[in-house]
Structure formats: C-alpha cells, structure tokens
C-alpha cells in the first residue's frame, strides 16, 4: 500500500465497547401475565459516549469559566467536548493556547491573519501575530449544559 | 519490520499536556511519596539534575533554577498511555504494549513503501492528538528496533525522531555504536561479564568467535539475542503475558518504620488494594506473599529482604481474607527476625484464576457473605471516589501518601478536568 506522507491511509479505529453511561431507549412497565413487546427492542440503547465522542482517543472534556462566548451558547460552567484530531476551519470554535494560556474562541480567518473572536460584545477580538506563541489545541464539538 | 515507539520523558510530558505553561521549561516528576526523581524534561536534564536523586538532597538546586516539581499522577499517565496505544493501533492492529510508555508494532503484514514517513506520521498524530512527543525506531527485529529508537532519540535533530534501520550498512554502523550494556535484554550482571571478556559493543557480541562462549554461558537466550542483532527475528510476540499472572502492591515508607502497628496498617492497606485490583480484573488468587525490606544500612545482618507466602485452601479476592492472611504472615516473619527497622513492604498475590472458574472446596470455603460485602464495599468506594470504607486493621491512619505537588486528574475525574477561562 502506498503511503501518502500527509495522511495515513490505514486508519483502524478500535470499537469503543466499554462505555459507562447507557440510557435505555425503551422501558417496559408490564409486570405480569402479558410478555412485553418492548423486550424485543431492549438491546438498542442510546450511548451518549458514542454519540458525543467520535474519536475517544483524541477527545477531552473541558470546563468553561467566564462569559466571553455566551452568544455562541457557551455559558459559565458548561462542559465542552473537545476533539483534538479535527482540523481547524474558519468559523469553528476552538480551544487555543495563546502565550501559554488556554482560551475558547471562534476562529476567523482574515487577509491580515487569524482572529480569535469572542461571542460577547463586551469582549475584544484577539489578533494572533508573530509575536504570540499560539497553538490550536483542539476543536469544540459539543457543549453540555446543566439546566437544573 | 518492527517499530519500537516510546514517549519522550513520558511522565514529565504528560504533566505539560494540560499545563502548557511548562513547555520548554525544566519539569521533574517525583516517585511515590515524593521521594526520588523519576522523570525529567529535557530542560531539567540540561540543568544536570540527576535521575533517581532524592528530592530533598537537591531541593535548593531545584528552587534556584525554578524547576517545576510534580508528584506522580498515575491516573493521568495511565489514561494518556492508553490513548497512545490506541493511536498506535490505527497504524497496525499488532501492537504489543511493552511498558506504560513503550510499544512494539509488528509492521510485517502491512505494505509500507516509506517506513520513515510512516514513523513520522505516528509522531505527528500523537503530537497533534495528545501533545506528547514520541520517538520511533524501525528495524528488522525488536532488539534492533530498540537500538534504532535509541538513535532516533539521541540524534533527534538529525533523524526528526524516526530512525529506520533498513540496510545492513546501517545495522552494522549502529551495532558498532551501541554499547553491549545498552543492548535490550542485557542486564547489569551480564554486562559486567561481557566487559570482562572485552565485549564492549553490540558489534563485538556478534563476532563468530564468541558464538560458542555465548551458547555455553548464556544458553538459548543469548543465542536469540545474537540472532536478533544479526537481523533475524528470534523474539516472538507475547513476550509480555496477556493477563497478569500475579499482582503486586509494594511501596516504600516515607520514613523507616519500627512500630508493629504502623507496619501492620501498611500491610493491611496493601492487601486491601491488591484485593481490589483482583476484583477489578475478575480474578481470585490462591497464594499470598508478604515481603518486607529492611534498611540495608541500619543492620549488621546481611539479610535485608524478607518474604513469606502461603497457599490458601481456596481462591479468594476478599480484602478480609487476604488482609487477615497477610497480617498473620507478617507476624510470623517479624517473630523470626531481629531486624527492627523497615523501609518497604509489599503484597504479592499469584496463582490467579478467573473469578468464575473458582472451584468449590468440600471442606474449606470462604464465607459466602464476603462476596456480597466486597461488592457493597466496592460500590460505596466507587461512588465516593476514595476508599472511605476500610478494614479496621487500616485504622492506624497516621499518614497519607505524600503528594504535595499532585496535578489534577484531568482525564479521569470529572471534578478535576481542565477549566478554561472565557476572557
């Protein structure tokens, strides 16, 4: 098999079979006499781990503190699902490392360079220059909120 | 071809994944109880900080150079290690996990046109996904893979972190460079004997006139090693057993112990932890061994390593049983020696069998209530995250492990995950 120097052709992802959180899709309340027709479907379960984590090897959970992204639906205390295997693109929300500090911002590509955009008018965009130490740490794929 | 991948300064690198402000700065990680240095970043190495040095001895030196010191955080290292191994399985299904930070990859069934590029892809993927630097050595045998990895690491600027030993010329050059004592599988004792024979490099080792000596003195193991160095695979897969045949929990004490109650508390705690490990992998053990290490320098008696074991009439993974047996063994051991100061203890359980293959014995069986009790104990402890339910023999809680500089368990505890400031 020829190997492209940029992308591995061979990409075998192990099946994630040991998830911990499973919610049953059907619950059956019939307790006597009549066998529950729903029992036949009990093997199907919604596994939030599988749904929220496309690549378990490169996924990390990160907690948000602060208000600079509230208009993107990211509030103080929310839980972010971050996948480091994804490639960045304009408009994506990313965990960035700028001058040794982590931050969450929306990426904006401009002719003058990369802008880290807050989603709250009270905050200023950050222009990434040659003077900055900048690392794109990972992309935010989901936001998990606590409602109650 | 085989690849040997290993993570550079693994523990120190793991600490930097979530605390990147320490990138390019001197970082060290201490062993259990914050005793000795067990991992150093390149910057710390450059400051001349020695491996395995006791932290208290060089504390001023560390402060002076603003070295960041971490307690060992095995939850974090274990999780990141599993991720590295998982990434390796995307390159070949044949991954043999050799240690927490090393793996052999059997590349023989994969058609690769450019091994160097393949190795670089491994490095890039682990760096991008996990921020961990690795080095890759690729060679016709595992032993040569180890050597290739050494070259990749030592001459990183030149190799880019991947070295492929794909010609005889490269192999011979490497063997002349590689010291005999650095060959994978040569222990300290053997290295001494080789030196006495003036066998100094790996190249000396494969000279035909040593063949008979190796065969006579070293047997089939030595001949295999020689074949490996000659480029003929002789060490098969499964060098590492699939399931653990024994489990050990051993720790040094933060200070030397003379008090029986304190030693008993430690032994009982190690027994409890070992029983928990057994239950986690659904095993039971038939044999329990207790070991004690005296302080070598504090006694005249040349014997300083003590151990005593017993085969149980039934297999068990009950903390109650294992702890009771271990304390009994400890008592017997102490009665037989005049040594009073100890610096280390441990529990080893062997003759493991799967829990469901447990045979019922006609006369001697464990109280069946143990099983239910252990289940309940595990549940409570799991729910509360810490071992809040303990045995009474563990009551002498005179200390906890010294982990003053422990970083959060970023990947294994939802309450300790990274928080990002939305400024």
From B54-58, B84-88, B144-148, B240-244, the region with the lowest mean pLDDT: B240-244
Q: Do A58 and B414 touch (CB under 8 A)?
A: no
Bridge partners of residue B260, in order along the sequence: none
For B94, which residue in chain A has the nearest alpha carbon? A12
Tokens standing for residue A15: 């099946």
A11, A65, A68, A146: which is the annotated catalytic residue? Answer: A68
Q: Do A61 and B417 touch (CB under 8 A)?
A: yes
Q: Do B90 and A104 touch (CB under 8 A)?
A: no
Alpha carbons B377 and B375: distance in angstroms, whole number: 5
Query: Is the pLDDT confidence value at A20 over 60?
Result: no
Residue A129's Cβ-count burial label (10 Å; 0-12, 13-18, 19+) is exposed
Query: Is the pLDDT confidence value at A50 over 90?
Result: no
- Residue B242 confidence class, pLDDT cut points 50, 70, 90: very low
Active-site residue flag, A108 = no
A74 interfaces chain B, CB cutoff of 8 Å: yes
Count CB-CB contacts under 10 A for residue B325.
Answer: 20
Q: Are B370 and B321 in contact (CB under 8 A)?
A: yes
Alpha carbons A60 and A70: distance in angstroms, whole number: 21
A102 interfaces chain B, CB cutoff of 8 Å: yes
Using an 8 Å CB-CB cutoff, list chain A residues near B89.
12, 14
Q: Mean of the pLDDT values across residues B399-406?
A: 67
Which of B90, B131, B410 faces A8 most closely, judged by CB atoms? Answer: B90
Q: Do B417 and A68 touch (CB under 8 A)?
A: no
B162-181 pLDDT per residue, tens: 999 999 999 999 999 999 99
Using an 8 Å CB-CB cutoff, list chain A residues near B418.
60, 62-63, 102
Question: How far away is chain A from the Cα of B91, in angstroms, using its nearest Cα?
Answer: 6
Using an 8 Å CB-CB cutoff, list chain B residues near A68.
422-423
Q: Mean of the pLDDT values across residues B182-197?
A: 88
A88 interfaces chain B, CB cutoff of 8 Å: no
Active-site residue flag, A68 = yes
Residue B119: its pLDDT value, please? 97
Alpha carbons B395 and B404: distance in angstroms, whole number: 23
Bridge partners of residue A64, in order along the sequence: B420
Element at B129 (helix H, strand E): helix B115-130
Query: Is the pLDDT confidence value at B109 over 60?
Result: yes
For A84, which residue in chain B has the nearest alpha carbon? B129
A17 interfaces chain B, CB cutoff of 8 Å: no
Tokens standing for residue B245: 């045949």
Residue B3: its pLDDT value, please? 97
Query: Is the pLDDT confidence value at A66 over 90?
Result: yes
A100 interfaces chain B, CB cutoff of 8 Å: yes
Q: Do B422 and A61 touch (CB under 8 A)?
A: no
Which of B125, B129, B417 faces A63 most closely, judged by CB atoms? Answer: B417
A window 33-72, beta carbon within 8 A of B: 56-58, 60-69
Looking at B5-155, list the stretches that DSSP marks H as alpha helix, in order from N- to C-terminal side.
10-17, 42-46, 59-64, 74-88, 115-130, 142-154
* Residue-level length of chain A: 148
Question: How far away is chain A from the Cα of B124, in angstroms, using its nearest Cα?
Answer: 10
B51-69 pLDDT per residue, tens: 888 888 899 999 999 999 9
Please determine, for the modelled complex, whether the ipTM score is greater than 0.90. Answer: no
Q: Mean of the pLDDT values across residues B231-248?
A: 67
Q: Are B389 and B319 in contact (CB under 8 A)?
A: no
Using an 8 Å CB-CB cutoff, list chain B residues near A100.
20-21, 23
Query: Is the pLDDT confidence value at B232 over 90?
Result: yes
Using an 8 Å CB-CB cutoff, list chain A residues near B126.
none
Which of A14, A76, A102 faces B86 most closely, judged by CB atoms? Answer: A14
- Most B CBs within 10 A among A4, A18, A58, A87, hence the mutation to make, goes to A58
Q: Do B87 and A57 touch (CB under 8 A)?
A: yes
For A86, which residue in chain B has the nearest alpha carbon? B129
Residue A24: its pLDDT value, please? 46
**Chain B contacts to A (CB-CB under 8 A):** 20-21, 23, 83, 86-87, 89-93, 110-114, 117-118, 120-121, 125, 128-131, 410-411, 414, 417-423
Query: Is the pLDDT confidence value at A23 over 70?
Result: no
Q: Do B114 and A3 touch (CB under 8 A)?
A: yes
- Most B CBs within 10 A among A7, A8, A116, hence the mutation to make, goes to A8
From A32-41, A110-119, B193-202, the region with the lowest mean pLDDT: A32-41
Alpha carbons B64 and A138: distance in angstroms, whole number: 35
Query: Is the pLDDT confidence value at A1 over 50?
Result: no
B325-342 pLDDT per residue, tens: 999 999 988 888 777 788
Query: Is the pLDDT confidence value at B390 over 90?
Result: no
Using an 8 Å CB-CB cutoff, list chain B residues near A11.
90
Element at B332 (helix H, strand E): helix B319-335
| Highest mean pLDDT (candidates B113-117, B346-350, B393-397) | B113-117
Q: Do A62 and B23 touch (CB under 8 A)?
A: no
Place of tokens 């948000």: A64
Of the candidates B67, B183, A12, which has an alpha carbon nearest to the alpha carbon of residue B194?
Answer: B183
Q: Do B129 and A123 touch (CB under 8 A)?
A: no
Query: Is the pLDDT confidence value at A21 over 60?
Result: no
Query: Is the pLDDT confidence value at A28 over 50?
Result: no
């Amino acid at each position: 098999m020829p190997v492209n120097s940029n992308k591995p052709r061979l990409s075998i992802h192990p099946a994630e079979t040991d998830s911990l959180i499973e919610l049953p899709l059907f619950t059956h309340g019939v307790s006597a006499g009549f066998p529950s027709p729903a029992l036949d479907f009990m093997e199907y379960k919604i596994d939030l781990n599988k749904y929220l984590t496309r690549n378990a090897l490169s996924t990390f959970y990160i907690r948000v503190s602060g208000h600079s992204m509230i208009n993107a639906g990211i509030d103080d205390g929310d839980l972010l699902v971050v996948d480091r295997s994804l490639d960045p693109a304009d408009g994506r929300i990313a965990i960035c490392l700028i001058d040794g500090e982590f931050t969450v911002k929306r990426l904006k590509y401009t002719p003058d360079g990369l802008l880290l955009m807050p989603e709250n008018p009270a905050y200023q965009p950050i222009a990434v220059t040659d003077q900055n130490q900048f690392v794109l740490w990972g992309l935010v794929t989901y936001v998990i909120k606590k409602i109650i | 071809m085989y690849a040997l991948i290993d993570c550079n300064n693994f523990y120190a690198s793991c600490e930097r994944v979530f605390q990147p402000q320490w990138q390019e700065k001197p970082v060290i990680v201490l062993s259990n109880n914050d005793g000795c240095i067990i991992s150093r970043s390149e910057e710390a190495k450059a400051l001349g900080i020695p491996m395995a040095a006791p932290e208290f001895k060089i504390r001023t030196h560390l402060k002076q150079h603003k070295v960041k010191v971490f307690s060992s955080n095995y939850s974090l290292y274990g999780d990141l290690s599993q991720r590295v191994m998982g990434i390796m399985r995307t390159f070949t299904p044949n991954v043999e996990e050799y240690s927490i930070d090393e793996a052999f990859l059997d590349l023989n069934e994969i058609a690769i046109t450019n091994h160097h590029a393949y190795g670089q892809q491994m490095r890039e993927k682990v760096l991008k996904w996990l921020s961990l630097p690795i080095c890759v050595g690729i060679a016709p045998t595992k032993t040569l893979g180890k050597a290739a990895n050494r070259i990749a690491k030592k001459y990183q600027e030149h190799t880019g972190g991947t070295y492929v030993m794909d010609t005889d010329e490269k192999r011979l050059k490497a063997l002349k460079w590689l010291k005999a004592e650095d060959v994978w599988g040569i222990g300290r004792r053997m290295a001494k004997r080789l030196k006495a024979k003036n066998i100094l490099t790996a190249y000396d080792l494969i000279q035909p006139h040593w063949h008979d000596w190796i065969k006579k003195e070293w047997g089939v193991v030595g001949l295999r090693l020689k074949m490996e160095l000659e480029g003929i695979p002789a060490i098969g897969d499964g060098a590492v057993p699939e399931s653990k045949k024994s489990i050990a929990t051993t720790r040094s004490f933060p200070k030397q112990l003379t008090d029986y109650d304190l030693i008993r508390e430690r032994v009982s705690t190690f027994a409890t932890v070992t029983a928990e490990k057994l239950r986690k992998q659904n095993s039971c053990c038939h044999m329990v061994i207790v070991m004690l290490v005296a302080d070598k320098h504090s006694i005249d008696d040349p014997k300083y390593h003590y151990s005593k074991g017993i085969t149980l009439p039934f297999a068990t993974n009950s903390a109650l049983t294992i702890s009771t047996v271990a304390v009994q063994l400890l008592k017997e051991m102490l009665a037989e020696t005049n040594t009073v100061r100890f610096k280390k203890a441990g529990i080893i359980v062997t003759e493991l069998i799967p829990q469901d293959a447990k045979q019922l014995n006609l006369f001697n069986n464990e109280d069946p209530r143990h099983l239910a009790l252990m289940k309940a104990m595990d549940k409570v402890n799991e729910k509360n995250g810490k071992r809040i339910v303990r045995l009474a023999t563990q009551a002498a809680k005179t200390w906890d492990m010294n982990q003053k500089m422990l970083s959060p368990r970023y990947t294994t505890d939802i309450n300790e995950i990274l928080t990002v400031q939305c400024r």
